[in-house]
Structure formats: structure tokens, C-alpha cells
């Protein structure tokens, strides 16, 4: 029996990197996974790789019409969402001291969701060896990052996927409002 048997998961930005590793793991644990990303080619590759119980919906997570289309597809095909991993997210930069109460509540007010039995947790990855890393950093930069990690090696996408599985499954049923940092201990130094 899988940890996510019969669950419906939606992962934005799930065509590459750690969210793709998460999509693979969620399907292996019994979920049907919808992934959204902008490049159709990468979505097609992900669907081929995972092979079953995976639906790709092309779109931009920053575009409300695309998000509506994603939601409509999930609703039409599966009825509802059990797990949402908003991976393709960007923070809204705001200067410390100028953050408004409204902005804070918008991000952190979980009791809006309490009655709907929705838990909200944040998975914060440290440096993880994904294709994006290869694109952005040369060997010297990667070595500099790794020198800050106690084990001396970046995380792998599958090491983030297992943490995401914990947060997505009933294993974390009493975990709510948590920021879980998976960075090999870098921030603890």
C-alpha cells in the first residue's frame, strides 16, 4: 500500500528538477499527479519518464487564467485536489520594516483554511543539484556552495522528494504551519 493511494496531487513547475523527482515519488506511492510548466517539451519528457498516473497541463503559474485552466482540468478529470505543491513560486520582495499586516496575513494566516482541514507547510531546500544549477553555476561556484554544506555535497532532487512525500502524506498529519529546511545542515552552522 502506498502512502498516497488514491490521492490527487498538483505540482506547479513539476517538469524538471526536484519537483519532477517529487512527481515520480508521489506516483510510485499511489497518487495521480498533475504537473504544470511553461515548456511543453519538458512536460512531454516528464510524462514519458513517469509513464502512468501523470497529467501535464501547460501553463504559467504566475498567470491566473492558466491556473484556472489547471484547476478546471483537475476538477473535470478527478473532482478535487488532495495535495498542492506550489514549487514554481517566487517570493514577493518586501523591505523588513515595511511589510504590512495585510501582506503578513496573506502569506501566513492558516486559520482561513483550518475549517477546510487544509494543512500548509513550507519546504525550503538548500543547494540542490538540478539542471538549473548546472545552467547557472560553474564548477568554482558549486564548490564554494558545497564548502558551506557539512557533508560537502549538494542535495539530490530525490532527497527533496522524500521530504515532500512526508509533508504530503498522513505521516505529517500533526505538522501545520511549519517551515521544513532540507539543506544538509547549512543553516544550522
Ligand X SMILES: NC(=O)c1ccc[n+]([C@@H]2O[C@H](COP(=O)([O-])OP(=O)(O)OC[C@H]3O[C@@H](n4cnc5c(N)ncnc54)[C@H](OP(=O)(O)O)[C@@H]3O)[C@@H](O)[C@H]2O)c1
Residues that bind ligand X (CB under 6 A): 12-13, 15-19, 36-39, 42, 60-62, 87-89, 125, 127-128, 130-133
Give 12 or 55: the residue with its C-beta nearer to ligand X. Answer: 12
Minimum separation from the CB atom of position 53 to ligand X (A): 18
Residues 6+ apart with CB under 8 A from 181: 124, 126, 187
- Of the pair 1, 140, the CB lying nearest ligand X is at 140
Residue 13 or residue 184: which is nearer to ligand X going by CB? 13
DSSP string of 143-186? HHHHTTSTTSS-B-HHHHHHHHHHHHSGGGTT--S-EEEESTTG
Q: Report d(CA 53, CA 119) in Å as an integer.
A: 24
Kindly report the number of other CB atoms within 10 A of residue 145's CB atom: 15
Q: Are 182 and 125 in contact (CB under 8 A)?
A: yes
Q: Taking the complex as a whole, how short is the minimal distance between the CB of residue 101 and ligand X, in angstroms? A: 26
Q: Are 54 and 46 in contact (CB under 8 A)?
A: yes
Provide the minimum distance between the beta carbon of 142 and ligand X in the complex, in angstroms, as a whole number. 10
Residue whose CB is less far from ligand X, 4 or 18: 18
At closest approach, how far in Å is the CB of 118 from ligand X? Answer: 22
Q: Which residue is nearest to ligand X (CB)?
A: 17
Amino acid at each position: 500500500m502506498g502512502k498516497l493511494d488514491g490521492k490527487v496531487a498538483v505540482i506547479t513547475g513539476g517538469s524538471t528538477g526536484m519537483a519532477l523527482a517529487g512527481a515520480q515519488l508521489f506516483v510510485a506511492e499511489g497518487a495521480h499527479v498533475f504537473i504544470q510548466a511553461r515548456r511543453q517539451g519538458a512536460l512531454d519528457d516528464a510524462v514519458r519518464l513517469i509513464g502512468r498516473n501523470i497529467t501535464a497541463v501547460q501553463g504559467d503559474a504566475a498567470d491566473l487564467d492558466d491556473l484556472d485552466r489547471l484547476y478546471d482540468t483537475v476538477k473535470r478529470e478527478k473532482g478535487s485536489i488532495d495535495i498542492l505543491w506550489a514549487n514554481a513560486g517566487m517570493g514577493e520582495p518586501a523591505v523588513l520594516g515595511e511589510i504590512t499586516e495585510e501582506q503578513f496575513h496573506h502569506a501566513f494566516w492558516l486559520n482561513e483554511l483550518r475549517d477546510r482541514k487544509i494543512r500548509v507547510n513550507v519546504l525550503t531546500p538548500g543547494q540542490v543539484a538540478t539542471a538549473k544549477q548546472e545552467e547557472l553555476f560553474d564548477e568554482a561556484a558549486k564548490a564554494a556552495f558545497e564548502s558551506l554544506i557539512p557533508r560537502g555535497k549538494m542535495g539530490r532532487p530525490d532527497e527533496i522528494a522524500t521530504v515532500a512525500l512526508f509533508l504530503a502524506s498522513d505521516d505529517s498529519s500533526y505538522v501545520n504551519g511549519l517551515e521544513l529546511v532540507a539543506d544538509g545542515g547549512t543553516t544550522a552552522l
